[in-house]
Amino acid sequence: MKLGSWKYYILLILAMVFWGGSWVSVKIVVSNAPPMTVGFFRFLTASLIFIPILLVTHREDIQSYTRRDIGLFFVLGLVGVLGYGVLFLVGMQFTSSAQGSIIAGVNPITVSLLAFLLLNERLAPKWRYLGFLFSFLGIFFVVGVQSFLEFRPDYLIGNLILLCGMLTWGLYSVLGKKVMTRYSSLETTAIGIFFGTVLFFGAALTEQFWTLPIMADPAFWLHILYLGIFVTVVGFLFYFIGIENLGASRAAVFISLVPVFGTLFSILILSEPLYWTFIVGLILVVIGILVINYPRKEKTTNTATNP
């Protein structure tokens, strides 16, 4: 480890703590508020921070955007913010935060899989493909084996919705990777979130959020601020600072900590039960991520990963 590198490792660990905690926070908030309202205010909070930063740092670039550029950012907001956000929030209405966070561990795997299918990106050496096997076995233990041992239809429905969400985020990451060959990661994320916020606003109107009693609950707004500021903005900044200074591959390994922290917080804060199938699934998912990402000698690539 180079002198001074430790601070970037600390930032990455903090980002993973925030992302892991998001599963508990979302589980609490969607139990008391409709999902579209939660998504709208979360990303509105993030937009109110990201857009001013973008205006200061990329003012000249923004003025040169074409209709095609705006269309690309809109698609990213549609797929990665609204699409993933809806599946994430709805899925968490049915399942537990522990199970959700473990399933989220498959996120880097879906990104790699869709990059292979859509961009023809291949892993070298070939033994890295064993990581897919480990990770999907882990998800099978959480979604399949546990459902067989103690069947709960709500958990099964929620977990399947979250799996669809992970595939959606993988598609967003692949699209975002292509877009980020022309634009910075800040531009891609900030403008995509802005369009996603607009789309979420339309969805939140159907819930008539201004009439909800939860709007007067301080706890609701604390969760929104946590999700908008620490999870979406600070987590993003810390993660890409890590990528910039340590490389994408070394930073990506830390994503394996998201299901670890998510499961830990679920037990400590929500007192959720921890079954042996969850432990086996968590271990397999982490092994799969490590097999695919460590060690790698590749050029730095800015590929976003969401909680």
Boundaries of every domain in the chain: 6-293
Using alpha carbons only, give the angle 43, 23, 162 rounded to the nearest 5 degrees.
85
* Distance in angstroms (rounded) separating the CA atoms of residues 223 and 11: 21
Start-to-end CA span in the chain (Å)? 27
Cα-flanking dihedrals φ and ψ of residue 122, to 5°? Answer: -120, 150
* 275 burial level (CB within 10 Å; 0-12, 13-18, 19+): middle
Q: What is the pLDDT along the chain (307 residues), one digit of tens a residue?
A: 444 678 888 998 899 899 999 999 999 999 999 999 999 999 999 999 999 999 998 888 787 888 888 999 999 999 989 999 999 999 999 988 888 888 877 777 777 777 777 777 666 677 777 777 887 788 777 766 766 677 778 888 998 999 899 889 888 888 887 787 788 888 888 999 999 999 999 999 999 999 999 999 999 999 999 999 999 999 888 887 887 777 665 666 677 788 888 888 988 998 888 788 878 888 887 787 777 665 555 444 444 545 6
* Distance in angstroms (rounded) separating the CA atoms of residues 51 and 30: 26
Contact 215, 209 (CB under 8 A): yes
Which residue's entry shows tokens 């790698």?
Answer: 296
From residue 96, give the alpha-carbon distance in Å to each of 5, 27, 138, 221, 292: 36, 7, 16, 22, 27
